[in-house]
């Protein structure tokens, strides 16, 4: 599973003219589900996001999302599982089947909400317009593999 975390002063997602998710201060979480990802990956991703100390307090990176009274806007983004290594057209061979991807994406959102953080979501598999004000800018990548943190 791969996710982009952006600290925001506000963010919203629209499908057509309808706003389907909106938050003020918090994080925008773009989630890509890759083949082989499991509930363990969803748990690791949610747990890491909730524990990240990326909001200013005594230091510029001191408080968690909950400490800062922030919210989380979770948006599915299958293109994160894409590869542009060969040729000029992205390959999405690593992207999970939509039915399983939707279940795992929703599991991430549910696990974050279970920690007491207000959660709004995009609409899975829809063409969405995402608008955000990146605060900082602060952006991180979280990758999981087999239920453990990977990469960065």
Which of 6, 77, 143, 144 is flagged as catalytic?
Answer: 77
Which of 6, 78, 143, 144 is flagged as catalytic?
Answer: 78
Which of 79, 106, 139, 143 is flagged as catalytic?
Answer: 79
Is 124 an annotated catalytic residue? no
| DSSP character string of the chain | -EEEEEEEEEEEEEETTEEEEEESSEEEEEEE-BTT--HHHHHHHHHHHHH---B-SSSTT-B-TTTTT-EEEEEE-GGGG-B-SSSSS-B-TTBPPHHHHHHHHHHHHHHHHHTT--EEE--TTS--EEEEEEEEEEEEEEEEETTEEE--
Is 79 an annotated catalytic residue? yes
Catalytic residues: 77-79
């Amino acid at each position: 599973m791969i996710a982009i975390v952006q600290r925001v002063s506000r963010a919203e997602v629209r499908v057509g003219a309808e706003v389907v998710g909106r938050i003020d201060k918090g994080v925008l979480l773009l989630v890509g589900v890759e083949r082989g990802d499991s509930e363990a990956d969803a748990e690791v991703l949610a747990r890491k996001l909730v524990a990240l100390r990326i909001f200013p307090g005594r230091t510029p990176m001191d408080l968690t999302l909950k400490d800062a009274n922030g919210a989380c806007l979770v948006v599915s983004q299958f293109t994160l599982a894409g590869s542009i290594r060969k040729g000029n057209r992205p390959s999405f061979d690593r992207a999970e089947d939509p039915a399983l991807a939707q279940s795992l994406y929703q599991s991430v959102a549910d696990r974050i909400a279970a920690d007491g953080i207000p959660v709004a979501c995009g609409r899975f598999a829809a063409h969405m317009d995402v608008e955000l004000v990146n605060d900082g800018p602060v952006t991180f990548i979280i990758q999981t593999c087999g239920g453990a943190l990977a990469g960065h």
